[in-house]
Structure 1
Amino acid sequence: MKNPRSHVFRDSHQDIATARQIPDTPQTRSPAYRLAFADNDFLCREELRPVRLQLELLKCDMAMVEAGIKSTVVLFGGARIPAPENADTARTPMLRDLSKYYEEARRFAQMVTKLSVAKGGTENVICTGGGPGVMEAGNRGAAEAGGISIGLNIVLPHEQAPNAYVTPELTFNFHYFAIRKMHFLMRAGAIVVFPGGFGTLDEMFEALTLIQTKRMKPVPFLLFGRKFWETVINWQALADAGTISAEDLELFQFVETAEDAIAAIERSLTNA
């Protein structure tokens, strides 16, 4: 009996190779003659945006399925927070002080990954934005623990290259912020947020809004560094104003160390 997934038609790669061997004529040089799926000019047209959105959703998701990734622990945090050994090069005294959270992110990722590897390595896989700072720390800790990790890069005006610690086969690059955000949360079993800037705040509030509005199931949601977060956001004022409910303040909790975070996640899962 034939494998139902076997191909009875010529595959796309064969036809691309064949199309390159045809005679060079005005007709074959015409953009109209290019195979649609191999025509970058066509695929980048404005009208093809829905197709490109679908491709970004599919490519990453298919790779995750093929790698057997069942769940992730997502780390958000600032790209500008240096490793402790580079703290003296920080652009501000505050960033220098925040370098301790690079180390906590690295230690937290190590601890999560060791637990993951002990259970097969496909659950609670560390997932970051794949860039520098806290993101690098998360991927670094996972690599040092002997596990895999995910990096979801995005093309920026000043290119953000993936850090050296992301598992190469799980290093992705996105054009659409919306699709990238979906991939951060589709398999998230816990969300951990370190000090950061606009990008970190955006990711944090979007995830909190999805949980608040019950568009996403509740997961352990941890903010590293109470002093930082209570300085930049007056959480209680939001509740006092009535723009959020008092119970919305229970959607997240503050932690200071990797050990605190592991304990908080374990408590949350036990009480779920």
Structure 2
Amino acid sequence: MNDTPRFRPFPDAEQDVRTSQAVPETPQTLNPAYRLAFDDLDFIKRDALRPVRLQLELMKTEILLTERQIASTVVMFGGARIPAPDKPSGKPGLDSLSHYYTQAQEFARLMTLRSVAKDNREHVICTGGGPGVMEAGNRGAAEAGGISIGLNIVLPHEQAPNSYVTPDLSFNFHYFAVRKMHFLMRAQAITIFPGGFGTLDEMFEALTLIQTRRMKGIPILLFGRSFWERVINWDALAEAGTISPEDLNLVHYVETAEEAVECIDTWR
């Protein structure tokens, strides 16, 4: 193979966008109409440019993950409000779920040890980048000496990445739909811990894609049978005929990090 750099008759993209010379300040050059389109945020924010913004959100994360050669991920969904055992919230309901923080942290640690052995390219932990179960996942990955992904989302209330996300794998999204695509595009397994509306939304999105065969089947592991059986009556859905009996096999219950790892290893 010839490693000689290919001759480029035109400047590369970075060189091409640089302003070649200063322009005089005139009514024409100072008017927003004169701005280059890609450098005009007011223009990019227009309603008509929403398809472009969607495409940019999809492409930026995809390009950066590809550059890092990340081939597969293990996705962790779960409640942002679930506290670490040593930092109780003072709310009995949430504090009773704090052991799931511990299990999430340990699961991420165990999976990341494997990821590190494969040069941080396979089975990289991927969370929503926020607090609670998400923090536990990124924290466990960091404790194992590996990398992890955080896919944050712009919300009305203050939202910031937890401190355990690998900095150059900390992404931010405006569009929920694009964020959910990135959760699933490299997923080799999905773990779902107790959570609220967001967790349920992410879980049912994945189940629907697998049920309709828009996505290959992967292990979907629900931590905490007692929690989930109180929240969702899967058997009632099958008995009513709104899902098929075989759809009940799409989810599997686990209680511990070790059990989850074993399920992934033995999944058909």
* TM-score, with structure 1 as normaliser: 0.94
1:159 CA drift (Å): 2.7
**5+ long unaligned stretches in structure 1:** none
Map of 2:176 onto structure 1: 177
1:85 CA drift (Å): 0.4
3-state secondary structure, aligned to 2:86: helix
Map of 1:248 onto structure 2: 247
3-state secondary structure, aligned to 1:151: strand
1:160 CA drift (Å): 1.2
Q: Does 1:152 align with 2:151?
A: yes
1:16 CA drift (Å): 4.3
Q: Distance in 2 between matches of 1:216 and 1:157?
A: 31
Q: Distance in 2 between matches of 1:120 and 1:7?
A: 37
Aligned residues: percent identity? Answer: 65
3-state secondary structure, aligned to 1:244: coil
Structure 1 residues 212, 5: CA separation in 2 closer, same or farther (over 3 Å shift)? farther
Q: For each residue in 1:141-189, what CA deviation from the matched residue of structure 2 results, as whole angstroms up to 9, or x when unmatched? A: 0001000000000101113100000000000000111100000000000
Alpha-carbon RMSD across the aligned residues, in angstroms, is 1.6
Q: Distance in 2 between matches of 1:188 and 1:205?
A: 15
1:6 CA drift (Å): 4.6
After the TM superposition, which residues 107-256 of structure 1 pair with which residues of structure 2 at under 5 Å, given as runs? 107-256=106-255
3-state secondary structure, aligned to 1:127: strand
Contact residue 155 and residue 174 of structure 1 kept, 8 A: yes
1:11 CA drift (Å): 3.9
Contact residue 117 and residue 147 of structure 1 kept, 8 A: yes
Q: Does 1:83 align with 2:84?
A: yes
Amino acid in structure 1 at the alignment position of 2:142: A
Structure 1 residues 32, 99: CA separation in 2 closer, same or farther (over 3 Å shift)? same
* TM-score, with structure 2 as normaliser: 0.95
Structure 1 residues 5, 260: CA separation in 2 closer, same or farther (over 3 Å shift)? farther
1:118 CA drift (Å): 1.3
Structure 1 residues 191, 146: CA separation in 2 closer, same or farther (over 3 Å shift)? same
Amino acid in structure 1 at the alignment position of 2:146: G
Contact residue 16 and residue 35 of structure 1 kept, 8 A: no
- Identify, as 1 or 2, the structure richer in helix: 1
Amino acid in structure 2 at the alignment position of 1:36: A
Map of 1:34 onto structure 2: 35
Q: Does 1:74 align with 2:72?
A: no
Q: For each residue in 1:6-52, what CA deviation from the matched residue of structure 2 results, as whole angstroms up to 9, or x when unmatched? A: 57136456644446x32211111100100111000111111111111
State how many pairs are aligned: 266
Contact residue 127 and residue 149 of structure 1 kept, 8 A: yes
Q: Distance in 1 between matches of 2:9 and 2:190?
A: 41
Map of 1:54 onto structure 2: 55
1:108 CA drift (Å): 0.2
Q: For each residue in 1:104-162, what CA deviation from the matched residue of structure 2 results, as whole angstroms up to 9, or x when unmatched? A: 00000000000111122210000000000000000000001000000000101113100
1:3 CA drift (Å): 3.5
